[in-house]
Each structure stands twice: as structure tokens, then as C-alpha cells.
Amino acid sequence: MARRNESPSIDPSVVEMLEVARERGIETAFDRAEAMRPCPIGHDGACCKNCSMGPCRLVGKHDRGICGATRETVAARNLARMIAAGASAHSDHGRDMALTLLAAAEGEAPDYTVRDANKVLEVAELLDVPTEGRETMEIAKDVAEAALAQFGQQKGEILYLKRAPRKRQEVWRRAGIAPRGIDREVVEIMHRTHVGNDQWYDSILMAGLRTALSDGWGGSMLSTDITDILFGSPVPLRAKVNMGMLSEDEVNIVVHGHEPVLSEMILVAVNDPEMIEYAKSKGAKGVNLTGICCTANETLMRQGVPTVGNFLSQELAIVTGAIELMIVDIQCIMQALAPVADQFHTILVTTSPKAHIEGATHVEFDEHRALEIAKEIVKMGIDNFPNRKETHIPKEVSHLVAGFSHEYINYALGGFYRGSFRPLNDAVIQGRLRGVAGVVGCNNVRTRHDYSHEYITRELIKNDVLVVMTGCGAIACSKSGLLSPEAAELAGPGLREICEAVGMPPVLHVGSCVDNTRILTVLSQMATEGGLGEDIADIPVVGFAPEWMSEKAISIGCYFVGSGVYTIFGSESPVANSSIVDRFISEGWEERIGGKLEFIPDPEEAVRRALEHIDKKRAALGLVEYDPTLFGQSGDWLMRKFIEAMEAGIPVSPYSAKIPTPV
């Protein structure tokens, strides 16, 4: 939560809308967080409610539950169950993507097709699907079936593990945490943590890592790849974010949730000339599609659909009074949307059989009739336009460049024929880049909205750390302008030179939360490219989830740790009730698998430790010590100075002038 005298968000549009909501007596998550303190027993992992002899609270003089479970066992079980829940959410999403691909390949979902045929071949190779002399759709069908088999696989190892560096695969095998099948690992955690089963924190947490890996290198990675197959692999595009993207004179339809299967169809529907004419017949100028949360990230990355906000903006967007229809699918959708929408003309439409909300209108999505359903929903929104009353739309709009898939990063660094991660590795080796960081994850109303994302990212780029972002973190920093090429001016001298040479922002948007797997792929390619060791754990890289709140974030954090990355979460540790467990997920995991998980609420301290870690990894690789004074002599600033001098009538030549020091 923001401190006294601090605004609750660094986003002016959120602050503005919160004031409007409060004036109108509309309660939001910000108000509920003020009214309700978090339960300290549950927060620290001290509560066990895995059977009805409890719930047991392992605090004060109580060191064991009724069954004798220790603080360590209880804290470890709670964390492992969070991982399992997060992994199941991502992976079930991945399963649905595979089912859509299967339906498309079998001709049962005529509104979908394969938009990235190269990716079909790439994935086919990973899943051992033959490609020689076969049609794309035939291969795609086998790819979908092979992907689905990964969920129910009982023995062996999931196939995508081979995308990881060889050394990492060996670490997993040695530690006994190579995932066997996606569903199997989730089910096993639920069994393992049932009363009277696994009662050693060590084995519970190692199994937790295996489950997280089944998400990162399994369900989520399959989801990213299949989404690229169906809707195209992202390439950079310019886009706009924040609530100013809501329209005063068009029908506003907002997609919110995570699965692009429906939102892509909604996009087709809103661009249908018949729909636009229909909107005009209702007095609107057209239909304006925007997004919230990760559905927004998916449509932003591929189609440039504007984003109006992240997790904590969802209720406030409705308070603008300008949204005719908000359509939601799965995950991160607040139940509070229904009572907020009730106070406006906004129609809240749920679409997933797995995510109903009492009071919402349910239009069940079926990929076999995708466009027909999408048009039906868009029409509902248009019909609602005449019911719009007074609106209050904040003016804020920021620009960004999104769409950095790992394929594109590869291409940008070397071109079509010579595409490779060599230039990126070389930049790290020379010290032009100090290291690389992933800053990802949610908003959490217990911490000042967007602040930590912005602070940490700004500090990292200032220190020549290239940042990649996903999820609500990417939306936070997009709103602050850090994902625009102009933000290169805020970067350290080495990173700025690279940004100017390649024409990219210092912070790269790589997608939604399932797309954190793109970061795993980039790290694997860096490790195998040479010069930065042989394993992800050797690379000067750090992961952050500074404003995390969901179980999915815990699963993501743990699969990064399991992949060898030092991962820093904001807020207090959810296993704080056991110092042994708290130490184990840091030092214990680092000793065994090279990555560690730490909870550091203070963003300044988090950055300090991250840079220390990056420098330690550089030293271990024998790389030159990071020295920013070695770089920055070239760059756009020189040309700008030259132009300024010309405009001021000062005769200078960029070749003969004494090179001034960059400011």
C-alpha cells in the first residue's frame, strides 16, 4: 500500500479515476485493502488447513500442528500448493490453445488457421513430429496431438526440456526434478501435500520446483508457441497505452483476461464493415477495441490493440462510464467487476465455462463458432451505446514499441541469414551491457501501484542492464514511457548505444505471462551461443516480480529459479514463518540447482542485490569489470548537438569538432 501522503499509484489516470470512484461512493480494491489488513498468519505461511482437525496456526508456542506437522512442513506445503495452482492455470490455458489448434487443423474451427508455418516446423521438431513432404495442416494436427500428450504423459521427461542448454538438463536430472508430464506434476503436489504424506520440507520444495518447471518448460511454453502458430509470432509494432485510449464517441469494448482465442475474433468482428455501419446507426463513430491485463498483452503484441491498464485498473476503467461492454475469459478477473458494472451501463460478459461471475451475462465461447459468437458479443456492446450517460475519461496516453518475440530478437541482431545471439553475448562480454534482467508480474494493492516496476526498471537500464518485460509489469512501464525508443536516453551509455544502433527501446515487451517462456528461450540461446558459460545459471541475469500477487507469479518465479536464475520478489516472504524454509529456497536451491528465490520488499535493496549478483556472475565468467565510462562516445546525442549548433548558426563539423562529453 502507498505510504501516508503518497498517491496510491504512480499512474495519474488511476489516481484520477480512484478519486472519481470515491466521490461517487464506488468501492474498489484500493478501498477494500485499506479496510482489511492481510491475515499475518496466512501471509507468513503459518496456517495449515489441509485437514479438518485444524486449521492449525503455527505461531507463538505452537511449533507443530495437531498431526505433528512442523512450521517447515506447513510453510513448504503452502508454497508448493501455490506453485501447483499457478502451474495448473498456465498449463490449462496451454491445453486450450492446443485444443484450438487441433480443431483448426481438423477443419472444425473454420475461423482459425495457421499464421506462422515456420513455427509449426520448429515446434514439430521439438515434439518429434515428422515434417518431410507433409502439408502444414497435417503437421499442425500432429503437433497439437503431441502437445496434448505432454499433459498426460506419465513417464520420461517432457519434450521441451531439450530446448534448455545441455548442462541445465543435466542439473535437472541430477537433482531428480526433470518433469515427467505436466498434469502428473500438479497432481503429485496435491497428493504430496495431503495430510499425512510428504513431511520433509526439502522433498516437498524440490517437487515444487519440478512442478514449476513443468509449467515453464511445458504448459506455458507450449501455450506461447501454439499461440504464435495460430496468430503469428510477434514482430515490433508501435502502440499506445493508458485510459486515454478509451473513446468519447465510439463504442468502447474492452477485452480482459488471458486467452487470445476469443479476443482475436473480437478484433475481426469490430473491424467488420457491417459492424461499423451498425455502430454508426446507433449514433457512434465506430467501435474502439482496447484491452486489460494479459489478453491486452496478447493483442497488443500481435495487432497493436491499445491497452487501457493492468490488473488494478480493471474496476477503474468501468468507472469512466465509457465502456459499453467488457468481455472476460480467464484469470485475474475481479469478482468486483460485476457490482461496479452494475452502477454503470457497462455489460460484463463472461465467456469461459471455467470462469463464471454471479451477476454477469454469460455467453459461452465455442471455438467451433468463434466469429459468430464474437459478432454476437460486439453487437451487444453496440446496442448498449445509446445507454451511455456521463463519462469521465482521463487524458493519459503513452507510446511504446511492443512485439519482441525471441525470433525477432534473433533476427534484429543478425538479419535473416545471420540471425544469432552473438551480438547480444558480445555486448555482455565487452561490458557494454552489464547484464540482462526480466521484470515481470502483477500489481498488488498492498504496494504502491506500478511504482516498484517503474523504479526497478529505470534503475536497471541506467546501469546498462537490458530489461525484458511481460504481464502487468510491461503495462506499468509502457505507461511510464520506458518501452519507447526515446527511453534510450534514460539508459546507461552502453545500452543506449545498442538501442540507437538497433533502433529498439531499452526495455523490451516480450508478451503476456505465459510468454515468460520467451525469456527462457532467449536465455537458453545465450547460454548455447558461447562466451557466457554453458548454462543459464552462468549468465549475468536476474529476474524480478516486484508487485506479484498471484499463484501464477509464484510458479513463474520458481521455474526461473529452477532454470538457474536469481529471482527477486517484492513483499515479505510467504514462508517467513520458517526461517529454515526461507533459507532453503535461497541458499539451499542455489547450492543444488544454481538459482535462488528471495523476497525483498524494498526496491532499492532489490536493485542493489541484483547488480551485485550480475557483477558476481561477470567475475565468475572472467569478463571485464563493468565500467560505463568506456562507452557512450558515439550515439544520436552527437548528431543532436551538431543539429543544435547548426540551428544556432555556429559553424561546426561533426568530424572536426572536439567531441563533447555526452550528457
Site residues, ligand BF8 (CB under 6 A): 258, 293-294, 310-311, 331-332, 441-442, 471-472, 512-513, 550, 552-553
Q: How far is the CB of 468 from ligand BF8 (least distance, A)?
A: 14
Q: Which is nearer to ligand BF8, 38 or 68 (CB)?
A: 38
398-402 and 237-241 beta bridge pairing: antiparallel
Q: How far is the CB of 294 from ligand BF8 (least distance, A)?
A: 3
Bridge partner list, 440: none
Q: How far is CA 465 from CA 185, 433, 498, in A?
A: 35, 6, 11
Q: How far is the CB of 538 from ligand BF8 (least distance, A)?
A: 28
Q: Which is nearer to ligand BF8, 331 or 425 (CB)?
A: 331
Q: How far is the CB of 398 from ligand BF8 (least distance, A)?
A: 18
Bridge partner list, 511: 470
Report the alpha-carbon distance of residue 51 to residue 55 in Å, rounded: 7
CB neighbours of residue 34 within 10 Å: 11
Q: Which is nearer to ligand BF8, 76 or 442 (CB)?
A: 442
Q: How far is the CB of 463 from ligand BF8 (least distance, A)?
A: 24
Q: Which of 287, 140, 161, 165 is nearest to 213 (CA)?
A: 161
Q: Which is nearer to ligand BF8, 258 or 448 (CB)?
A: 258
Q: 3-state class of 327 per DSSP?
A: strand
435-439 and 465-470 beta bridge pairing: parallel
Angle, CA 38 vertex, CA 21 and CA 314 arms, to 5° = 30
Q: Which is nearer to ligand BF8, 150 or 223 (CB)?
A: 223
Q: How far is the CB of 477 from ligand BF8 (least distance, A)?
A: 13
Q: How far is the CB of 447 from ligand BF8 (least distance, A)?
A: 13
Residue pointed to by grid coordinates 545471439: 421
Tell me, what amino acid is at 111?
Answer: D
Q: How far is the CB of 515 from ligand BF8 (least distance, A)?
A: 10
Q: What is the dihedral of CA 337, 340, 342, 347, to 10 degrees?
A: -50
CB neighbours of residue 646 within 10 Å: 12
- Phi and psi for 473 in degrees, rounded to 5? -60, -45
Q: Which is nearer to ligand BF8, 212 or 553 (CB)?
A: 553
Q: 3-state class of 440 per DSSP?
A: coil
Q: Which is nearer to ligand BF8, 270 or 442 (CB)?
A: 442
Q: Which is nearer to ligand BF8, 144 or 513 (CB)?
A: 513
Angle, CA 514 vertex, CA 152 and CA 222 arms, to 5° = 40
Helix (H) or strand (E) holding 544: strand 541-545
Radius of gyration of the chain (CA): 25
Q: Which is nearer to ligand BF8, 70 or 220 (CB)?
A: 220
DSSP 216: I
Q: How far is the CB of 549 from ligand BF8 (least distance, A)?
A: 6
